[in-house]
Amino acid sequence: MSAKELASHRKRIERRTRIISKVIDRLVPLRVLLFLVGFGWLLLLPWDGLSRRTWIDENALQPGQVNVDWSWADVRFADIKLGLLEDLWRRNASSAERAEFISSQFRELGIASATQQYTFSTPTGDFAGVNAYGTFRSPRTSGAEAIVIVASWISREDEGQKRQPNLRGIATVLSLANNLRRQSVWAKDLIFLVSDSYLDGAHAWLSEYHGSSQKGLVAQPLNDPEPAGVIWTALVIDYPGHSFSHLGLFFEGTNGRLPNQDLSNSLSVISRNMGVPLVLYDHKDDQIHRGPAILQPLADLFDINLPDYVRRVRNIGRHVSYQAIGEPSGVHGLFHRYRIDAITLYTVPATGPHGFHSLGRVIESLLRTTNNLLERLHASFFFYLFTAPSEFAEFARYLPPVIILGLAASFGGLHLYVQTGWIQHEERSEKDDEDDEGKLVWHMRDRPVLEVLCIMGATHLVGIATLAIVHQAWFWALVQEADLSLAIGIVSVPSVLLLLAVGVYSFAIRPLPPTTPALLKALNLCCLGVVISVIAVANFSLSVTIAVLATVPLCLVPVRLDQPITENVSKLVKLQPVLRPAAVAFVLLISPMGLLQCARSLGALYPTLTDVAISGWLRRILWEAVILKTWFVPITCAVYLPLVLQGLVVCLLPF
């Protein structure tokens, strides 16, 4: 290498060193900027400027281009079947009797039908049910593909102790079977499923249809009629009221899975052509208030329509509430596990003006649309954020703020990690006088990596122990009895024992190296950034929930680095009696147990937030973790709780 090349190489290295040095010197304001940008971007997600109108990507769909055959005769047929179903419900017929009735109705229509018994085993006992299903074989093809039309016996309406029956939804399925069997246009098998209960019946049927075994599930095989072809799409009908004003779209699946957007977009086009208003979930426009008056001047300053912003905030919040805990927003969500695009059509109860006639026309048109497919839906998005029925935020517009918050945490962790490996010493030469200040020189020092990794491993063992506790029958019994104080106390025992063990070890047995808290915080923030970034790709809502809850509190945990004590560190040490309790309280608040206790405390302000309501929510997520295999409980116990515990250990170690 020539001298000129060496000089160029040296300059390049020096330039890179200067840039890195300037970035490190300004890392604190850079991280503050990242936090401001990340949280500000999240607040801008409901702004209509970040949303786009939906469109159809799959050319084969052609939604709204068919002449439907659904008529008032089909409405009368549905009314007749509804009367029979109401008789069954009023006399409290058993699951087996109801399923046999549905199966006989399919057989009367010439559709091959059968029932399926199933039993689930949970820590609180067994529960069983009976499904009924019928298969209409395609008259035009060999039946390699299928479409499923589903109605569960229980509606999602009134998600509490008393749920409404979905009798009109079942009557619609029976009438659709009567109507569609007379048509010769079908290129796919049609499967009509009336599942028992709400989620468990369809889950048992799908598990047996696809041959997937599950611990605690015993289900009758689907032999007669034999299963149809590969299921491509599924439509779930939820019709709890007498009539409806809007058609609600529910689309979230287990563990945050979403159907291909073309299916929802097709429903939007068809419902608009049929004159049926489409809303997200059960959110009607007349339920929207203008928003807090204090925000109106700010909205006027940035030319933001405040009522529209509030409407979009509510839609996004509802989506996050389902996706973050991995809960399916309807029976359709169970199909996503098998790569089946499915949505729920929910009729928002009202005094009118729509009923069987409008709903049947929309469903038939949507079925005819999906019947055109030559391959699975793939052209449109699988990752999206609906802000309005016909508007969405793209992946590239809603993902960056979460990644930015993860970067802010990771940068802080990496900066701390570098600092823990160096120490400043004052050096004097022999020529210096005693009164002269020595030169501060940086020296490398060992990092207590092994001790920190042992602490982190112990926190994850505590998380696994907590996960084992919440799966015990006696814990489920405590939740069932709404004894939340005892339940929270028992779940906290492993965490308290760990904190006591670390405290006793570090104070009484063997003092840990002084850089242990800083190194633990550094690795904790790095892990937090990785967790946020990795989860964001699969489940944006869970990732943003972790980021909003944990990034700021864990970044603000105070640690001491400089040796010897400088003026700044001396001030920090003097503030220790204030900083330590504040940091401990802040980190305790974001722990799972702290969040539950905080929710209980808010019951005084929100009467609906009672111990019974909170225990009902806990029962639901525990049931979904055991039966539907959702990830929320394992991630909370084995990933999120250890991160919080590591922050608490940093607060409790010697400063």
Look at residue 61 and tell me if it is in a domain. Answer: no
- The pair of three-digit structure tokens given for residue 47, joined into one six-digit string: 């702004």
Token readout for 624 is: 């979904």
In this structure, are 508 and 524 located in the same domain? yes
Query: pTM, whole model, 2 decimals?
Result: 0.90
List pLDDT tens digits, range 567-610. Answer: 555 555 566 667 788 888 999 999 999 999 998 888 778 887 88
- Could you report the per-residue pLDDT of 153-210, keeping only the tens digit for each? 999 865 445 678 999 999 999 999 999 999 888 989 999 999 999 999 999 999 999 9
Nearest residue to 309 via CA among 332, 336, 291: 291
Do 474 and 607 share a structural domain? yes
Q: Look at residue 346 and give its three-state secondary structure.
A: strand
Beta bridge partners of 134: 113, 192
Q: What is the mean pLDDT of residues 294-314?
A: 80
Report how far residue 536's alpha carbon sits from residue 597's, in angstroms, rounded to the nearest whole number: 27
Q: Is pLDDT larger for residue 259 or for residue 436?
A: 259
DSSP 517-548: HHHHHHHHHHHHHHHHHHHHHH-HHHHHHHHH
Give the number of other CB atoms < 10 A from CB of residue 544: 24
Mean pLDDT, the chain, integer? 88
Q: Are residues 388 and 409 in the same domain?
A: no
Q: Are residues 452 and 384 in the same domain?
A: no
Domain assignment present for 219:
yes
For the cut 70, the answer to whether the pLDDT of residue 118 exceeds it is: yes
Is 58 among the domain residues?
no
**Residue 432 included in any domain:** no
Say yes or no: 419 and 378 in one domain. no
pLDDT tens digit string along 470-521? Answer: 999 899 888 888 788 899 999 999 999 999 998 888 887 888 888 889 999 9
How distant, in Å, are the alpha carbons of 406, 553, 554, 595, 648 from that of 586?
A: 19, 6, 9, 11, 10
What is the rounded CA–CA span in Å between residue 62 and residue 65?
A: 6
The answer to whether 223 and 117 have CB atoms below 8 angstroms apart is no
Q: Is residue 16 part of a domain?
A: no
φ, ψ of residue 196 in degrees (nearest 5): -75, 155
Instruction: Indicate whether 164 and 192 sit together in one domain.
Output: yes
Q: Are strands 384-388 and 422-427 parallel, antiparallel or unpaired?
A: unpaired
Query: 416 burial class (0-12, 13-18, 19+ CB within 10 angstroms)?
Result: buried
Do the beta carbons of residue 282 and residue 346 sit within 8 Å? yes
Q: Which of 138, 168, 135 is nearest to 154 (CA)?
A: 168
Mean pLDDT value across residues 373-387: 90
Q: What is the pLDDT of residue 17?
A: 78
Same domain, 285 and 316: yes
> How does residue 437 score in pLDDT terms, banded at 50, 70 and 90?
low
Q: In this structure, which long-range contacts are made by residues 263-266, counting pairs with CB atoms below 8 Å and at least 24 apart in sequence?
A: 263/233, 263/341, 263/342, 263/343, 263/370, 263/377, 264/54, 264/343, 264/386, 265/54, 265/55, 265/56, 265/63, 265/380, 265/390, 266/56, 266/61, 266/63, 266/366, 266/369, 266/370
Q: Confirm whether 34 is domain-assigned.
A: yes
pLDDT for the residue numbered 327: 93
Residues 339 and 242 in one domain: yes
Contact in structure between 137 and 189 (CB atoms under 8 Å): yes
pLDDT tens profile 408-424: 999 999 988 888 887 76
Task: CATH number of the domain at 227, please.
Answer: 3.40.630.10
Mean pLDDT of 375-392: 91
How many structural domains is the chain composed of?
A: 2
Decide if 91 is inside a domain: yes
- Find the domain containing 592 and state its range: 23-48+399-426+438-652
Residues 164 and 312 in one domain: yes
Q: Give me 552's structure tokens.
A: 């700021």
pLDDT for residue 565:
47
Residue 15, in any domain of the structure? no
pLDDT at 60 exceeding the cut of 60: yes
Q: pLDDT category, 613, cuts 50, 70, 90?
A: confident
Give the pLDDT of residue 234.
96
My answer on whether 387 and 416 are in the same domain is no
- Does 617 share its domain with 586? yes
* Residue, of 88 and 611, whose pLDDT is higher: 88
Same domain? 552 vs 645: yes
